[in-house]
């Protein structure tokens, strides 16, 4: 079959619906057994879900414009005032469908031990028996869109491709921003490149004459990953990563499995280029859990004169050892899917400037002038708004105007400080990897790992404090090793081991240096000790100078700390007592933390690699030596 014969058409299985004119969404004439396998798979999904129509998405501007106009006409999108926000739209989800559904997210590996204790495991046959009846007829009355997409530049050496079928036009428009969509991906499939299968339905079939909802969804929700067959099936939710399956589902959970098998890493990391005053460039990847300053660092504007940061990616990085002994990284995404609340001119002006237009907003508030607003966008709230559920709102309403997890979806190319080569197929060589959490106690502002294995040990222990820290205690820790706890597609203990194996492929003098950072340490009085935001560039400055051998470090039981005189604090005032507290290492508290680490490792039932237990033992030994004599 020639690709030119594929276009929006009635589903022969459903036997209903009108097609769009021949040629709209058509494909270039490419034949091949691999393409035939794709078409057969699409027909198989159509036979199950029974859509009225099938549309093969070509990724063109005309197609996207038509899709957006149709959603506006159907009341599924609100077009924003083009004077303030050209080419932008507002979507309002159902109140029951506003976030990732972690409790309904499963890894359906053949063996439970391959999923590990931090994932929700379910047997593949069992879950297929559950979800197949749900998908039976789930797209009736709707169009099934076939979206071929590439993570990374199409054809790039670090890129991977997939196909999503979905009955959500909102998901199609979002995928078009977040990935590279188009006929070039079909040509890759026709040439025999492996691809990941992703299936999505909002689970809201329509009977003849039935009016549609502005946000169709289903109370029953499942997001299921099949690592052995490289599939994702998502049912019931139209929101975010539940519907944009190229994002966390593919780019992290499935890609982490592919990376394990192929010898690379799929990571929940931002990616930046740091340029020093002499014009020399360095590349940094950083893994932070939610609410730990990840987007702010991805779009950092240094407060130190002469330094510059270029954004390469804000959320996901794929890291692959190169033949040169270095670790190379790409941002596999094409857009930003960011949390709106808290993003403002005082916290992240770069992000605000990125959203000037061509953006899909979800669950933010609507201003009377047709623009959008959310908490944190400006210091003062407007006098009146329409909230994210369509209700009148004033500052006295006593509830948020925007949902706390409201989002923006925008092309990365619109970021004013995006690097010119941000989507270069070969990626960039990493100089440093940062790990960080939100720690009020114990963890210094910055600490350097002594080597790769020590860095993996640090990454395996990343955590944030769930409770308010009290003097002399460590708050209850929410573990998020490598910021990957919700996103690793296989046993995390094996994942730790995979990091160690990747390190063995790197030249010791070319591997990226590993650091832990913590912008959130508090003093005994509850104050943040570090100013944060743009001043975090002062920590990056020290890291870069460490890499270049320009400054030394002080050995401590937990790693290498800066000499205080080597920190560039020109232009800011951080009292000496605050600096001392920022870098204080209390052996007794750290020994308590080591006990918590051992307790965490035990959840993996003996699978944590021996080198990490050796690091734990060495840490305890150094801490005991550092304790004051009785």
145 shares its domain with 214 = yes
The count of domains in the chain is 3
pLDDT at 71 over 60: yes
Q: What is the mean pLDDT of the chain?
A: 93
At 475 the pLDDT is 63
Share of the chain above pLDDT 70, in %: 93
* 3-class DSSP state of 7: coil
Lowest mean pLDDT among 134-143, 291-300, 403-412: 291-300
* Phi, psi dihedral angles at 301 (to 5 degrees): -115, 105
pLDDT at 530 over 80: yes
Band (pLDDT 50/70/90 cuts) for residue 147 is very high
Domain with 346 in it: 337-406
Is residue 99 situated within a structural domain? no
Q: Where are the alpha helices (DSSP H) in 393-505?
A: 452-460, 492-504
The answer to whether 538 and 517 have CB atoms below 8 angstroms apart is no
Tokens of 77: 């999108």
Residues 209-227 have a mean pLDDT of: 97
SS (H, E, C) 94-126: CCCCCCCCHHHEEECCCCHHHHCCCCCECCHHH
Q: Rounded CA gap, 253 and 235, in Å?
A: 17
Is residue 83 situated within a structural domain? no
* 3-class DSSP state of 91: strand
Band (pLDDT 50/70/90 cuts) for residue 628 is confident
Lowest mean pLDDT among 28-42, 190-204, 410-424, 575-589: 28-42
pLDDT at 72 over 80: yes
- Out of 231, 263, 295, pick the residue that ends a domain: 263
Tokens of 438: 């939100």
Residues known to be catalytic: 292
At 69 the pLDDT is 97
Band (pLDDT 50/70/90 cuts) for residue 169 is very high
Tokens 């052996």 identify what position?
587
Tokens of 462: 């990343």
Q: Which own/partner pairs from 584-589 qualify as long-range (CB within 8 Å, at least 24 positions apart)?
A: 584/444, 585/444, 585/556, 585/557, 585/558, 585/561, 585/626, 586/442, 587/557, 587/623, 587/624, 587/626, 587/627, 588/627, 589/441, 589/442, 589/472, 589/473, 589/474
Is residue 95 situated within a structural domain? no
Residue 113, C-beta contacts closer than 8 angstroms, at least 6 positions apart: 491, 607
The pTM score is 0.94
- Out of 234, 263, 292, pick the residue that ends a domain: 263
Residues 492-507 have a mean pLDDT of: 98
559 shares its domain with 495 = yes
Band (pLDDT 50/70/90 cuts) for residue 4 is very low
At 20 the pLDDT is 35
- Out of 236, 263, 290, pick the residue that ends a domain: 263
* 3-class DSSP state of 233: strand
165 shares its domain with 215 = yes
329 shares its domain with 345 = no
Residues 336-353 have a mean pLDDT of: 94
At 18 the pLDDT is 35
Query: What are the pLDDT digits (tens) for 443-489?
Result: 999 999 999 999 999 999 999 987 544 444 566 899 999 999 999 99
Residues 345-372 have a mean pLDDT of: 96
Is residue 88 situated within a structural domain? no
Tokens 């205080």 identify what position?
564
């Amino acid at each position: 079959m020639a690709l030119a014969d594929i276009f929006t058409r009635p589903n022969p299985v459903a036997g209903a619906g009108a097609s769009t004119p021949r040629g709209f969404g058509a494909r270039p004439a490419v034949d091949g057994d691999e393409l035939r396998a794709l078409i057969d798979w699409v027909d198989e999904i159509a036979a199950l879900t029974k859509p009225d129509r099938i549309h093969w998405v070509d990724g063109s501007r005309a197609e996207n414009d038509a899709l957006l106009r149709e959603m506006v006409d159907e009341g599924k999108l609100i077009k924003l005032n083009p004077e303030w926000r050209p080419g932008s739209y507002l979507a309002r989800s159902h109140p029951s469908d506003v976030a990732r559904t972690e409790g309904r997210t499963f890894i359906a590996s053949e063996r439970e031990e391959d999923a590990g204790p931090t994932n929700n495991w379910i047997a593949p046959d069992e879950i297929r028996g559950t979800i197949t009846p749900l998908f039976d007829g789930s797209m009736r009355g709707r169009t099934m869109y076939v979206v071929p997409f590439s993570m990374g530049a199409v054809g790039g050496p670090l890129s991977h491709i997939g196909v999503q079928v979905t009955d959500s036009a909102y998901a199609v428009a979002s995928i078009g921003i977040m990935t590279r969509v188009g006929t070039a991906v079909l040509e890759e499939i026709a040439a025999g490149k492996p691809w990941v299968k992703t299936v999505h339905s909002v689970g809201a079939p329509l009977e003849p004459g039935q009016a549609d909802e502005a946000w169709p969804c289903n109370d029953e929700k499942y997001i299921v990953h099949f690592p052995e067959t490289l599939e994702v099936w998502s049912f019931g939710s139209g929101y975010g990563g539940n519907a944009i399956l190229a994002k966390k589902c593919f780019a992290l959970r499935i890609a982490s499995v592919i990376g394990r098998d192929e010898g690379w890493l799929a990571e929940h990391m931002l990616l930046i280029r740091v340029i020093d005053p002499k014009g020399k460039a360095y590349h940094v990847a950083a893994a932070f859990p939610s609410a730990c300053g990840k987007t702010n660092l991805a779009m950092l504007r240094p407060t130190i004169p002469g330094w510059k940061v270029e954004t390469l990616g804000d959320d996901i990085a794929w890291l692959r050892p190169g033949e040169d002994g270095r670790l190379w990284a790409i941002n596999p995404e094409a857009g930003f899917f960011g949390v709106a609340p808290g993003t403002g001119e005082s916290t992240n002006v770069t992000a605000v400037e990125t959203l000037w237009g061509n953006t899909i907003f979800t669950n933010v508030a609507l201003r009377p002038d047709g623009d959008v607003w959310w908490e944190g966008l400006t210091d003062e709230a407007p006098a009146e708004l329409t909230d994210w559920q369509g209700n009148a709102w004033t500052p006295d309403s006593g509830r948020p105007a925007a949902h706390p997890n409201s989002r923006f979806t925008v092309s990365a190319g619109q970021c004013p400080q995006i690097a010119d080569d941000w989507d270069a197929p070969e990626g960039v060589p990493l100089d440093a990897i940062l790990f960080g959490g939100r720690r009020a106690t114990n963890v210094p502002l910055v600490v350097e790992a002594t080597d790769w294995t020590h860095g993996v040990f640090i990454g395996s222990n990343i955590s944030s404090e769930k409770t308010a820290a009290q003097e002399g205690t460590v708050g209850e820790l929410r573990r998020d090793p490598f910021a990957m706890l919700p996103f690793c597609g296989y046993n995390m203990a094996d994942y730790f081991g995979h990091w160690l194996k990747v390190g063995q492929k790197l030249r010791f003098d070319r591997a990226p240096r590993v650091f832990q950072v913590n912008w959130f340490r508090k003093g005994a009085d509850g104050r943040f000790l570090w100013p944060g935001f743009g001043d975090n560039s002062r920590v990056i400055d020290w890291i870069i100078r460490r890499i270049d051998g320009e400054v030394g470090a002080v050995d401590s039981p937990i790693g290498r700390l800066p000499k205080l005189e080597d920190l560039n604090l020109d232009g800011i005032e951080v009292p000496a007592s605050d600096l001392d507290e920022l870098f204080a290492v209390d052996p007794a508290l750290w020994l308590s933390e080591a006990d918590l680490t051992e307790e965490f490792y035990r959840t993996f039932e003996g699978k944590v690699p021996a080198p990490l237990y050796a690091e734990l033992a060495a840490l305890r030994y150094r801490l005991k030596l550092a304790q004051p004599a009785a």
